[in-house]
Amino acid sequence: MSQPRVRRLILPALTTLVVGAGAVFIPSAFAAPGPSSDAVEPSATPADPPVTVRVEQKTPAQLRAIWTPERLRQAEANPVDVPAAPPAGAPKAADDADETAPTLSASAPAVAPKAARSTASVSAQATVSVSQRVPNPRARPTSAVGRLYFQDAKEEGYYTCTATAITSRNKNTAWTAGHCVHRGSGGESGWYRNHIFIPARDGYDTGPYGYWYGSRTLVPTAWPTRGDTKDSDMGAIVLTPPGSTTLEDAVGAYGYTFGGSTAYASVRTYGYPEKGYNRPDSDFAEGEYMMFCEGNTVDAATSSATDDRLRMSCDMGAGSSGGPLATGVGTNNIRIVGTNSSRDIQNGKYINNWLYSSNHGANAVELINRVNNS
């Protein structure tokens, strides 16, 4: 019997095999895009900083010209699939294995939008492992969650993930999965580009919040060098507003609790999946709508003692990549503790209902600190 492999909601070389309305991404056997001329920090060495940054080369006007309604639809037909989770028992990389290192932590409260927005009546539910549609995504708190659109390094394809406005000093930052920002290999040549964020997109209507344009993308340095899903599959995108209002003022922002914990109660995760475990693709309406699951997270070390990812029961797959795992739903202090990252996959199929997040410990702390200090 073959060993199940774990695959992230990633798009490795952005080579796709279309299945129904969605797409399955075929990883590294295909050629990676060639080097780019973007301004980025160099590939990781022991002396490199813990966070790597790419500066977007296009202006908001140029990005807006790229993202026509037709290209948004093309991207929505190509949701980034969750990467395969690492095999059970796979050791951590050497630079992640030091259990004696000081524990880093960072936290911040949620921020309410300044504009008058309705607030959905959201109450914690015991368990929702079969994802359900969010009834009113434009109300708080789901107004802060939206679809993230981007192109591959060669600017030849159009793709989509999920992202969430996060509390930040610049008030214009979205949090997502690392594999929605960078391929997870190839160093500088693996960056995706031309990101835009559309909060609370519902169906094919852009909605009241409009387009927010990527200006900088950031990932832990471990992600572009080795695609580490255990501790590094997270990313941040600093955005340029379409007008004078910040993202936080327009849609609010989720707070965060980063420190390496794995066991949380009443966690809710959101995303725009086009497929899921043990369900027909038709249940997901081609990813048109925001969906959610809810339940407790546990330490994935139940599968491997070296694995400190968060694991919860949720059937969402391709398209939900980068969606938040958040505590405090139904309160005024919803906080991100993880992101939709990977699933157990065998022979191209999800083999159970487990959805994983990279551990949001030291790498998440370094990442949000870099956002806030630059």
Residue 2 to residues 72, 96, 217, 347: CA-CA distances in angstroms? 38, 28, 37, 9
* Residue 38 within any structural domain of the chain: no
For residue 82, the model assigns a pLDDT of 74
* Residue 102 within any structural domain of the chain: no
* Residue 43 within any structural domain of the chain: no
pLDDT band at 239 (very low <50, low <70, confident <90, very high): very high
Rounded CA separation 172/241 (Å): 7
Question: What is the per-residue pLDDT across 207-220, written as a single tens digit (0 to 9) for each?
Answer: 789 999 999 999 99
DSSP code of 231? T
For residue 60, the model assigns a pLDDT of 98
Neighbours of 350 (CB within 10 A): 24
* Residue 33 within any structural domain of the chain: no
Neighbours of 44 (CB within 10 A): 19
* Residue 35 within any structural domain of the chain: no
Q: What average pLDDT does range 260-280 have in this prediction?
A: 94
Q: What average pLDDT does range 150-179 have in this prediction?
A: 97
The CATH number assigned to the domain holding 58 equals: 2.40.10.120
For residue 42, the model assigns a pLDDT of 38
CA nearest neighbour of 193 among 141, 160, 155: 155
* Residue 320 within any structural domain of the chain: yes
Work out how many domains the chain is built from and give that number: 1
For residue 179, the model assigns a pLDDT of 97
- The range of the structural domain enclosing residue 111 comes to 5-27+49-88+107-372
Q: Indicate the average pLDDT of the chain.
A: 83
Burial of 245 (0-12, 13-18, 19+ CB in 10 A): middle
* Residue 134 within any structural domain of the chain: yes
* Residue 249 within any structural domain of the chain: yes
Rounded CA separation 200/120 (Å): 13
Q: Give the least confident one: 23-27, 36-40, 153-157, 197-201.
A: 23-27
At residue 354, does pLDDT exceed 90? yes
- 3-state secondary structure labels for all residues of 156-197: CCEEEEEEEEECCCCCCEEEECHHHCECCCCHHHHECEEEEE
Contact 88, 304 (CB under 8 A): yes
Most confident range, picked from 119-123, 170-174, 303-307, 331-335: 170-174
Q: Count Cα atoms within 13 angstroms, Cβ side, for 373.
A: 7
Q: What average pLDDT does range 146-163 have in this prediction?
A: 96
Question: What is the per-residue pLDDT across 276-328, written as a single tens digit (0 to 9) for each?
Answer: 999 999 999 889 999 999 999 999 876 566 789 999 999 999 999 999 999 99
